[in-house]
Amino acid sequence: MKTAVIVFPGSNCDRDIAVALERVTGRAPAMVWHRDTELPEGVGLVAVPGGFSYGDYLRSGAMAARSPIMRAVASGAERGLPVLGVCNGFQVLTEAGLLPGALMRNAGLNFVCRDVTLAVDNAQSAFTSRYAAGERVVFPVAHHDGNYVADADTLDRLEGEGRVAFRYAEPVNGSARDIAGVLSAQGNVLGLMPHPERRVEPAHGGDDGRRLFEGLLEAVGA
Ligand SMILES: NC(=O)CC[C@H](N)C(=O)O
């Protein structure tokens, strides 16, 4: 399947996710510069990678969310195109209004860079179908703005609609209700602070992240 990775000035996990996608699909993704206005023809999955787009100036992800390519990503998402935002990508997707809530400064105010244990909350989404509900997985995190916040009504709605994909199974950043990953209402957009693409082969210390990509490809019929 044809996939695309969006690249902003300051992205630094674009290569990691490109390698993960190539491993799983057997095909290198198109690297799409943020100034482009259209996604390549026939793309079946868009990844918005981690990093420090625009140096995290203003708010993490705020400037990248206004990049020309994000209009194409938003209209693709509206049509049901799967979009995966990891770490800074999650921040960009909230800033672009594709996902609710915001990622604030970590509760401990420190940059957190380590492996964390997550629990799979909804194992029925396109992104989580290869996991079991309640399963514990280990993904690395590397962020200073990972503290997920939303008002109580939004959090209730997300939980009620099965839109919490992953939760932290240990204290990490103060996120409301331990939310680590959130799905859009249609279920085709996932924002996730931890990095599944940094956990796709044994040399990474484990391959818990690989099934996220495999399940996604299966879901889109690739
Ligand atoms: N690894 C990343 O994507 C970092 C995200 C963001 N710049 C933060 O530190 O919060």
Q: Residue 39 has what DSSP assignment?
A: P
How do residues 147-169 score in pLDDT, each as one tens digit?
Answer: 999 999 999 999 999 999 999 99
Give the mean pLDDT of 162-183.
Answer: 98
pTM, two decimals, is 0.97
Here the tokens at position 105 are: 């400064």
Burial class (CB in 10 A: 0-12, 13-18, 19+), 202: exposed
> What domains are defined for the chain?
3-219 (3.40.50.880)
C-alpha 11 – ligand 1 centre gap (Å): 9
- Is position 13 annotated as part of the catalytic site? no
Choose the residue to mutate in 60, 93, 95, 197 for probing ligand 1, maximizing ligand atoms within 8 Å of C-beta.
60
Q: Considering the candidates 13, 95, 144, 197, report the single residue annotated as catalytic.
A: 197
Here the tokens at position 145 are: 């703005």
Q: Please report the ipTM that was assigned to this predicted complex.
A: 0.95
Question: What is the rounded distance in angstroms from the CA atom of residue 5 to the CA atom of residue 36?
Answer: 12
Choose the residue to mutate in 14, 48, 54, 91 for probing ligand 1, maximizing ligand atoms within 8 Å of C-beta.
91
Residue 221 pLDDT class (50, 70, 90 cuts)? confident
